[in-house]
Structure 1
């Protein structure tokens, strides 16, 4: 009787292991799709500030400004966030000695809105309580996710259409997707007018409170292009 080990060796010699199947008519390629989307969210950063020699009078003035601005910013059209609030003494040095010369209080608010006209009105109406440090425009999370879904579908459809075209060109009736990778999602600025708006708002601080808020709505928020690339392998 042959030993088990010898039997295994003889069988391996008589029936060699099957070779790995060869993949024929395999094509790798990529397709992309993109969409230009107007920015739908405006953000403004405000600073409320009071300063003077007497701590109590500074606090009183600051509190009035703070509460007044806070009331105006409590609007269903706004998403308002208090970023910081600080109070501290001010000093000067005289003959090597530090001398307290006054007191300062300030707070910073971030206000976000999809209603540009409403936020522009807040900027104009709140000049006596707060000044704008900067403004910016962006794409909301909901809008971005919606666009990414739409662009992804478009890129996949382009991939499928190209795969069918390649299959027919190579003399095949159909194809099979072997691998599909939803790759890089890109986002870039198409147009930008943010600096114009920021300059307008900063120069608005010394203006009269009766400034026409409608004039601030002329600048465009710009737009972004969101793109996605699909990489894949198909077999004819």
Structure 2
């Protein structure tokens, strides 16, 4: 009988705890205010991205693929020789070319991309100019490196909390409260980082190894939001 008695005691305590929790959950909360604070900063782009591509046409698809592969292999070897430049293969696809009546395949066309990335704009700009002798320009844009973004977000996070506390105090004073309790607080980061087209003095078509083009990388706005709920304490 003793084990049954202990079990009954445990069940009784559990039931009491559940009833207490339910009572607390049903307790009304008054003077709760939802607040939002936002801080942002313009951050200079410190990463440069370039997409180059090789495109050709041939009646023999195997010969075409071999030609594109040789061009890409040479380009990858050249790019790997540049210090501080990351190299990656992009998309590659081929498609048939039909005759005027769109009935018979007369040839095959293939396109393959090479993607380059570097924090050294001068190095990548010069390399790109040299590689345009054998490849074509697919695009160029800029972004914020992950360590840079994290560093600024950490600073903005502190500013967002301070801004939230300031708003909480203003709301408390506006309601005539003597203080407030923090019910919840959610911190989130974001920011719009659009692709930044390359700007050059002489235009992209004149980009070559003889001169390094003037590049304006631009900026992106990094934002940290503080969303929370406070309960204003009335005197």
Q: Quickly name the TM-score band, shorter chain normalised.
A: 0.5 to 0.7
Q: Unaligned regions of 5+ residues in structure 2, if any?
A: 1-22
Where does 1:6-155 land on structure 2 (aligned, <5 Å)? Answer: 23=29, 26-51=32-57, 62-74=68-80, 75-86=82-93, 90-93=97-100, 98=104, 100=106, 102=107, 104-155=109-160
| 2:164 aligned counterpart, secondary structure | helix
Of 181, 185, 195 in structure 1, the residue corresponding to residue 186 of structure 2 is 181
| Count of residues in correspondence between the two structures | 206
Structure 1 residue 88, shift from structure 2 partner: 6.3
Q: Unaligned regions of 5+ residues in structure 1, if any?
A: 1-16
| Higher radius of gyration, 1 or 2 | 1
1:49 & 1:186 partners in 2: Cα distance? 37
Are 2:90 and 2:113, in contact at CA under 8 Å, matched by a contact in 1?
A: yes
Structure 1 residue 63, shift from structure 2 partner: 4.8
1:193 & 1:97 partners in 2: Cα distance? 42
| 1:221 aligned counterpart, secondary structure | coil
1:155 & 1:65 partners in 2: Cα distance? 51
Q: What RMSD, in angstroms, separates the aligned Cα atoms of the two structures?
A: 3.7
| 2:132 aligned counterpart, secondary structure | coil
Tell whether 2:219 aligns with 1:223: yes
Q: Equivalent residue for 1:200?
A: 203
| 2:192 aligned counterpart, secondary structure | strand
Q: Equivalent residue for 2:161?
A: 156
Deviates more, 1:107-116 or 1:161-170: 161-170
